[in-house]
Structure 1
């Protein structure tokens, strides 16, 4: 099949789930093209991007300036890309905000049509990741810019935060015209159906990890150091602040010797970057944890796997942000469980669908540093429990979050979507 992915930033270091789908389809003999909303904002990317020559397959849609004045100016400049009366007519119809909603009102659809709309681009499937990109894909098909079955994966923020900001009506056009909707958890499937998406076309499709590419290793605590690890974009919903505060509670103040009664040293490594990094580093300083907490910035997938192999526990203290932003099911947790690490996380979004509380890890309420501290201290003091929990986690990932199995299932969903599109065209 000819499959086009419509995504946001590409290649994005934190969106390994999209990369795994793209490479999995290529491995299965399918042709892949990528439409990106903007290039990556970091200078590095995962090795697979080069191995599969993915940058040669990317076509970028012009991005929107923040300023409304500059946005309008750029829209006028893009009229120079219009090269035929048919192209001009598509661009004019792209302004129908009453049909397409926010992507027409903010000129994103105009930008896309001007850049891509000279000829119809035919694919079997157009797979959009995140709801707003699904709306864009459906609108571009409606305007004759793209052709193919529209499949949309919903992740979490595109429902939680997006609904609060834009309302559920922004997805009405997509719900009517899209072919298949794939929320990544049962929780978000229920939410989509609640707001009007057809149940017959809405199915849970988990993101996953390559279990064959992640060597399982039973956790073995040797010596007097316990290593905690988090891998996350440093934003509010990742809850890293609460992981740091929990650590402060279990080890006390290293400078004064007050509090904490552990007989081991605890090191906490935080992989990732984001707008809260400076704030989190300041918190570490205030709590006198500089010798215990280490920020590494972004790492490649192979580097992350190496760090997972050295860690004893994975910490993912996710929370609902003030904006309403929520997780889907973090792939970083899947990778940790596949590697054999017990997970300490929160009762947040779809995480309970992955982490079996008391079996493969522990879940505590959001924003509860004291509960995190109690669980961490209990596991640190009884390290003999860790190997069994790690084995249970690996089994869960192999059974339900294995990207090989999920990609086979995805191809079946594509074929069903394509069949539906052809029946619709012939009727």
Structure 2
């Protein structure tokens, strides 16, 4: 398996599985390419001269395309991709982990520097904001791609509307390793504050300001509670100011990034998990993993009618749902859970079952392997498959 990434991740906290499977050692990064025409032309010529001795056929193919269509018919980053793809570029599966990665890989297939069945996943932004802004971005991909894997039914409807062949679409949900999340029997505190938790990047799409305002309302109504927020992002300073303005310094904590073990401990210590996701400039989530993780531990959750979240949470059965940006509704649902701790185990049990039956990564991995094999039915049975994953942040 080879991994190609268009960007480097500067976050210090690394998922344990990245280290376990030595994924960084398998990853190649496409460096930044000059955007200005003259600089790009110089860069492209330099790359072709540098690579000609050991990749002459590739360079000649690129020159042929340039002669036919002009230098700028090649997208800037395509030049770098052409020469970073290893010489053994015949893969069985080319799996682009986000929709926007499909078109450039299709370009590489057209040039002839890489081959394989093209599989593209859609996870949120790529099928909402990007598709709304550039309606034709996936036209060629939808015609020539072999398989499309939206993570939710809501995203499936999006790409269907954009012209994707329904026979090539299969919902493949994003899973979690349920074995890493032990069932926790959440019990009401004996005089201590109700502990509420949110985990996610501090960006508009996560809707955290609405949860902070709901906590402020609950405090004014006399409830004793604490609210921990795990994650970081560009809204941190704004949220810090909001916490001060609402006099919540002693009740709301911004904990920054935490590793997996620390997050599991915080989940165990919490009574309610809130994921107040909202649509931000057309951008919607698929289904946030943090909801699955909390539900896998039997923790009662509150989400929003947003993206694929209602596909995970059945309101009043496996969790609670509120409209986006509705502080009053969120306040009411939190108050309901605080006042009815007898509902915690019931909601948690149904949530636990929903995640373990439909979102277990081991089951989903087997399903993905079956989808790969189905695409390769014209291959010899004894040929060992190799895979390329194209991800933006390894």
Structure 1 length-normalised TM: 0.82
Mapped contact 2:28–2:84 kept (Cα < 8 A): no
Structure 2 match to 1:347: 305
- Mean Cα deviation higher: 128-137 or 396-405: 128-137
Structure 2 match to 1:225: 193
Structure-2 change in CA distance of 1:305 and 1:177 (3 Å): same
Shift of 1:106: 5.0
Structure 1 match to 2:19: 50
Structure-2 change in CA distance of 1:114 and 1:271 (3 Å): same
For 1:287 and 1:90, locate their aligned partners in 2 and report how far apart those are by CA, in whole Å.
62
Is residue 417 of structure 1 aligned with residue 378 of structure 2?
no
For 1:104 and 1:184, locate their aligned partners in 2 and report how far apart those are by CA, in whole Å.
33
Structure 2 match to 1:366: 324
SS state of the match for residue 415, structure 1?
helix
Structure-2 change in CA distance of 1:43 and 1:66 (3 Å): farther
Is residue 38 of structure 1 aligned with residue 7 of structure 2?
yes
Is residue 152 of structure 1 aligned with residue 110 of structure 2?
no
Structure-2 change in CA distance of 1:336 and 1:61 (3 Å): same
Structure-2 change in CA distance of 1:248 and 1:148 (3 Å): same
Deviations 1:221-262 (A, max 9, x none): 22221111111111111111111111111112xxxxxxx122
SS state of the match for residue 126, structure 2?
coil
Structure-2 change in CA distance of 1:386 and 1:123 (3 Å): same
For 1:364 and 1:389, locate their aligned partners in 2 and report how far apart those are by CA, in whole Å.
15
Q: Alpha carbon RMSD of aligned pairs, Å?
A: 2.4
Structure 1 match to 2:176: 209
Structure 1 match to 2:222: 261
Shift of 1:141: 2.3
Mapped contact 1:209–1:335 kept (Cα < 8 A): yes
Flag structure 1 segments of 5+ consecutive residues without an equivalent.
1-31, 253-259, 423-427
Structure-2 change in CA distance of 1:126 and 1:382 (3 Å): same
For 1:316 and 1:94, locate their aligned partners in 2 and report how far apart those are by CA, in whole Å.
49
Structure-2 change in CA distance of 1:36 and 1:392 (3 Å): same
For 1:136 and 1:175, locate their aligned partners in 2 and report how far apart those are by CA, in whole Å.
13
Structure 2 match to 1:311: 270
Structure-2 change in CA distance of 1:163 and 1:95 (3 Å): farther
Structure 2 match to 1:290: 249
Residue number among 163, 166, 189 corresponding to 2:134 in the alignment: 166
Mapped contact 2:128–2:158 kept (Cα < 8 A): no
SS state of the match for residue 119, structure 1?
coil
Structure 1 match to 2:59: 88
Deviations 1:89-125 (A, max 9, x none): 44357779x9xxxx97751222211332x73412221
Flag structure 2 segments of 5+ consecutive residues without an equivalent.
381-394
Structure-2 change in CA distance of 1:364 and 1:173 (3 Å): same
Mapped contact 2:197–2:272 kept (Cα < 8 A): yes
Is residue 299 of structure 1 aligned with residue 258 of structure 2?
yes
Aligned residues: 375
Mapped contact 1:227–1:312 kept (Cα < 8 A): yes
Mapped contact 2:34–2:76 kept (Cα < 8 A): no
Shift of 1:332: 1.1
Structure-2 change in CA distance of 1:267 and 1:77 (3 Å): farther
Structure-2 change in CA distance of 1:267 and 1:196 (3 Å): same
Deviations 1:170-213 (A, max 9, x none): 10111111111000001111221111111111011111111122
Structure 2 match to 1:257: none
Shift of 1:69: 7.5
- Mean Cα deviation higher: 384-393 or 103-112: 103-112
Structure 2 match to 1:114: 83
Structure 2 length-normalised TM: 0.89
